[in-house]
Structure 1
Amino acid sequence: MLTITNYEDFAKYLGQELGSSSFHKISQEQINVFADATLDHQWIHIDADRAKSESPFQTTIAHGYLTLSLIPYLWKQIVEVKNLKMEINYGIESLRFAQAVTVNSEVRLKAKLVNIANLRGVTKSTIGIEMEIKDQKKPAFTGEVVFLYHFNS
């Protein structure tokens, strides 16, 4: 795991792979809780019997937004950012879902520092991300996330 304490620490990794998180298994319980939280109870996510007979995946799949919501958790396994006043999720760019994540699949996040800027003392970092699915060739998604870091002086 990398430790970042200021802009200069971060900037030296520009263009480099930052690492990968550990794998996280997505259970049916997690999918159901997410469905309840988002009010998205589409059968392909929560009805295992119907998914088995009607879905091309023959099982339930995680919500795309559930996989996205794992970014902060998995990101913190790759980079520990210290000396912060505040951290802000600023945006997601060029996001593409490439493959559905079936129930009980294991996923992990791969990250690369694509761009970094010092905006009058605020560090704007653009991280290239890919959510890998264990034992699958295609990722769940690819894209870029943008974080704003307000470091202590």
Structure 2
Amino acid sequence: MTTVFSSAAALQAAVGQSLGATDWLRIEQPRVDQFADATGDHQWIHVDPEKAAKGPFGGTIAHGYLTLSLVNYFLPQLMRVENLQMGVNYGCDRVRFPAPVRVGARIRGAGEITGVETLTNGAVQVVVRVTVEVEGSDRPGCVVDTISRYTFNPAV
């Protein structure tokens, strides 16, 4: 269920609030191979299932940055901000990859608003911690604090 926000005050009131979790997404080898092609990272732990089966992870794993990039897929499922003049992705803090994401695993994003700051131009900066959960694992595949800036339409 997507949480909808339509004002800076609503975002401010949601600090510490869980945004729930998204649907599961299965990580398949073609996605990993496409990411390898897009980034030039063809390390065998990602793209060679035969060699990787004998490696430290028992099979191919998703690139950490592929897992991170899927946060952009999960965020709109977790929250939507309406009544905007503009919204921009400002960046990320504290990116971590505590556990590998094996090809074939299912992952999902779980979110929490951890901070909202009012900026000098009336915009707000919102920090959402997204935890990429790996089904059946005690440790997440990725944890990242995303930073977005939103400028709302003036009240009428």
Instruction: Determine helix, strand or coil for the equivalent of 1:30.
Output: helix
Q: Which residue of 1 aligns with 2:93?
A: 93
Instruction: Determine helix, strand or coil for the equivalent of 2:111.
Output: strand
Q: Which residue of 1 aligns with 2:153?
A: 152
Structure 1 residue 75, shift from structure 2 partner: 0.8
For residues 150 and 63 of structure 1, the distance between their equivalents in structure 2, rounded to whole angstroms, comes to: 34
Q: How many residues align?
A: 152
Q: Mind listing any 5+ residue stretches in structure 2 that lack a counterpart?
A: none
User: Given the alignment of the two structures, is residue 4 of structure 1 paired with residue 5 of structure 2, yes or no?
Assistant: yes
Structure 1 residue 150, shift from structure 2 partner: 2.2
Structure 1 residue 73, shift from structure 2 partner: 1.1
Q: Which residue of 2 aligns with 1:136?
A: 137
Please give the TM-score of this superposition, normalised by the length of structure 1. 0.94
For residues 21 and 83 of structure 1, the distance between their equivalents in structure 2, rounded to whole angstroms, comes to: 23
For residues 2 and 25 of structure 1, the distance between their equivalents in structure 2, rounded to whole angstroms, comes to: 23
Match runs of 1:106-117 below 5 Å = 106-117=106-117
Instruction: Determine helix, strand or coil for the equivalent of 1:77.
Output: helix
Structure 1 residue 85, shift from structure 2 partner: 2.8
Q: Which residue of 1 aligns with 2:73?
A: 73
Q: Which residue of 2 aligns with 1:23?
A: 24
Instruction: Determine helix, strand or coil for the equivalent of 1:8.
Output: helix
- The residue type equivalent to 1:149 in the other structure is Y
- The residue type equivalent to 1:86 in the other structure is M
Structure 1 residue 91, shift from structure 2 partner: 1.8
For residues 35 and 114 of structure 2, the distance between their equivalents in structure 1, rounded to whole angstroms, comes to: 30
Q: Which residue of 2 aligns with 1:41?
A: 42
For residues 84 and 47 of structure 1, the distance between their equivalents in structure 2, rounded to whole angstroms, comes to: 45
Kindly report structure 1 stretches of 4+ aligned residues shifted beyond 4 Å. Answer: none
- The residue type equivalent to 2:139 in the other structure is K
For residues 108 and 85 of structure 1, the distance between their equivalents in structure 2, rounded to whole angstroms, comes to: 30
- The residue type equivalent to 1:131 in the other structure is V
